[in-house]
């Protein structure tokens, strides 16, 4: 956003030179970035601390220290969580940052951390692109009906081979929500999913504390913990059932999960069925307004009966299978990238504290870095 010259002048102390560390104070305290030269002259919100180091070349090193697991634990203990997690400026100044033996070593440690971060950022950007491709394809086929409109106008659908194009009709027919491709139908979520809520088992915080392990434990809206066993193995879609049910715009809170994991009783556990793959189910529900199906005056609730009432457009089996063949490789790559992100983050978070403390030398760390990025 832009502010007036008067406001900018009033907060001139935080005007950027383009060489500072910017540290988050509210929401996710401790997260930091290095201001880029092109940000010179910008100003920042009060939720950010602007830190100028006496030795500017140590910015990557200090950023690496702030991102280390040890420092995250220290920051966690400093937070004021009355309204939302908050770190004040006084506490920022008191953070214990160990100085490196010399600037060159500090720069190298910061460089190791940045290489990990750059690979992680690249994988995240790739996944955002993969998601965009899948969403655009879903919209083209199942919302805008581009192949049907093209055939109706006597044109070949763009970007589609003849065999796939033959799976779409060349005309529309009336339905309750409006025109849909001829031969398709408007069903409900009940028609296109398998639900596994009966297999869910909640674990209290006390239970989880005694059952630490490698398997993700999911709640209504997020990964909550890791435990020593799993209830599910495969690719699933989780929808919030209690509490965190919808986003601000009424769309459902969804989680796309896979592998071995545990789910508590605050999330519906779904897979696609009857020719609809789980990714198709997810894309078909993500932009639906769930507000009419949510109950509860005090705590939002999406019960199974109401979930099953949500409308879902059902194409022919052949068209659904063709869509699955298009998006399956995208999501397979997305899952692989996310697993690599987790692996890189774990290696980075293991190496950094040892590098900073001097327990690991740079040549060893650089060797492990090369192996991880190979």
Domain count, the chain: 2
Integer Cα distance of 222 and 323 in angstroms? 28
Last residue of a domain, one of 40, 74, 99: 99
- CB within 8 A of 154, min separation 6: which ones? none
Of 39, 32, 45, nearest to 17 by C-alpha is 39
Residue 374 within a domain: no
Give me the mean pLDDT over the 352-362 stretch: 80
Q: Which two tokens stand for residue 53?
A: 């180091």
What CATH number did the domain enclosing 27 receive? Answer: 3.90.220.20
Integer Cα distance of 134 and 132 in angstroms? 5
Q: Is 146 in the same domain as 44?
A: no
With a cut of 90, say whether residue 105 has pLDDT above it.
Answer: no
Residue 46 within a domain: yes
Last residue of a domain, one of 281, 306, 324: 324
Give the range among 61-75, 206-220, 242-256 with minimum mean pLDDT.
61-75
Residue 124 within a domain: no
Mean pLDDT, all residues of the chain: 89
Residue 268, domain extent? 139-324
pTM, to two decimals: 0.85
Residue 131 within a domain: no
Q: Is 156 in the same domain as 93?
A: no
Q: Which two tokens stand for residue 13?
A: 């102390």
Q: Is 156 in the same domain as 95?
A: no
Q: For 41-58, how does the pLDDT look when each residue is reduced to its tens digit (9 = 90+)?
A: 888 877 788 888 888 888
The strand pair at 193-195 and 267-272 is best described as antiparallel
Residue 72 within a domain: yes
* Three-state secondary structure call for residue 336: helix
With a cut of 70, say whether residue 1 has pLDDT above it.
Answer: no
Q: Is 56 in the same domain as 191?
A: no
């Amino acid at each position: 956003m832009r502010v007036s010259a008067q406001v900018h002048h009033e907060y001139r102390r935080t005007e950027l030179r383009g060489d500072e560390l910017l540290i988050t104070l509210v929401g996710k305290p401790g997260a930091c970035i290095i201001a880029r030269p092109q940000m010179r002259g910008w100003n920042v919100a009060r939720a950010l601390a602007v830190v100028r180091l006496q030795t500017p070349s140590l910015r990557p090193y200090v950023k690496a220290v702030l991102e280390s697991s040890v420092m995250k634990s220290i920051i966690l203990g400093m937070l004021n969580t009355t309204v939302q997690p908050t770190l004040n400026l006084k506490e920022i100044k008191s953070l214990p940052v160990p100085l490196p033996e010399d600037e060159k070593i500090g720069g190298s440690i910061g460089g190791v951390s940045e290489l990990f971060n750059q690979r992680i950022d690249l994988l995240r950007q790739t996944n955002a692109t993969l998601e965009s491709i899948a969403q655009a394809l879903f919209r083209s086929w199942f919302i805008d009906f581009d192949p049907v409109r093209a055939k109706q106008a006597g044109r070949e659908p763009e970007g589609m081979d003849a065999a796939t194009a033959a799976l779409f009709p060349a005309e529309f027919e009336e339905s309750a929500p409006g025109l849909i491709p001829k031969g398709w139908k408007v069903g409900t979520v009940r028609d296109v999913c398998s639900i596994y809520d009966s297999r869910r088992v909640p674990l209290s915080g006390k239970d989880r504390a005694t059952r630490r392990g490698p398997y993700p434990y999911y709640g209504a809206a997020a990964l909550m913990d890791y435990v020593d066993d799993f209830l599910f193995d495969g690719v699933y879609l989780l929808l919030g059932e209690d509490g965190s049910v919808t986003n601000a715009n009424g769309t459902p809170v969804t989680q796309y999960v896979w592998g071995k994991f545990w789910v508590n009783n605050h999330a519906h556990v779904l897979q696609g069925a009857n020719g609809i793959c789980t990714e198709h189910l997810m894309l078909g529900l993500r932009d639906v307004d769930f507000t009419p199906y949510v109950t509860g005056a005090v705590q939002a609730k999406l019960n199974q009966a109401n979930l099953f009432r949500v409308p879902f457009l059902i194409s022919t089996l052949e068209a659904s299978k063709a869509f699955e063949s298009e998006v399956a490789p995208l999501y397979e790559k997305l899952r692989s990238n996310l697993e690599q992100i987790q692996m890189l983050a774990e290696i980075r978070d293991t190496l950094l504290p040892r590098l900073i403390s001097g327990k690991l030398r740079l040549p060893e760390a650089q060797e492990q870095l090369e192996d991880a990025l190979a």
